[in-house]
Amino acid sequence: MEIVKVLGIAMIAAVIAVLLKNERPEISMQLSLAAGVVIFLLMISKLTVVIQAMQEIAYKINLNVVYLNTILKIIGIAYLASFGVEICKDSGQYSIAGKIEFAGKILIITLAIPILMAVMDMIIKIMP
């Protein structure tokens, strides 16, 4: 099971990072960052399955591919922003973490505008 690998990496890295935090805080931070990247890379391969399933659903319901791609981009931005925020918070950089959250939200809203416009057009067409 993949979760066992993830937990194993996370727990080992967390214990070592805690032990190193007082003596070598820079190495502790680098270890935490490396563990996060390794876990992230392990999960990227699983995302292809999700993306393929979403594409199949989109084709079955005759959804415009542009909307699916936009939704996937929005999901990607949300996950990457969250990952960046957590890294910044782990290193004590709460101000930078807040800026990443803000930027992620703005990018998501920007990408969502065409979808919102399409929904509004559909609503207008339905109304008498």
Residue 100: both structure tokens together: 């990443």
**Which pLDDT band holds residue 87 (cuts at 50, 70, 90)?**
confident
pTM of the predicted structure, to 2 decimals: 0.75
The whole-number pLDDT of residue 73 equals 93
DSSP secondary structure string for all residues of 50-63: HHHHHHHHHHHTT-
Neighbouring residues of 105: CB distance < 8 A, sequence distance ≥ 6: none
Q: What is the DSSP letter of 41?
A: H
Q: What is the DSSP letter of 114?
A: H
The whole-number pLDDT of residue 68 equals 87
Answer whether residue 128 shows pLDDT above 80.
no
Distinct helix (H) and strand (E) counts, the chain: 4, 0
Cα 43 to Cα 54: distance, rounded to the nearest angstrom: 17
Residue 102: both structure tokens together: 């803000």
Answer whether residue 99 shows pLDDT above 90.
yes
pLDDT tens, position by position, 46-56: 888 888 898 89
What's at 6, amino acid-wise?
V
Cα 22 to Cα 30: distance, rounded to the nearest angstrom: 14
Sign of the dihedral through C-alpha 85, 71, 37, 43: positive
Secondary structure (3-state) at 89:
helix
The whole-number pLDDT of residue 92 equals 85
Answer whether residue 12 shows pLDDT above 90.
yes
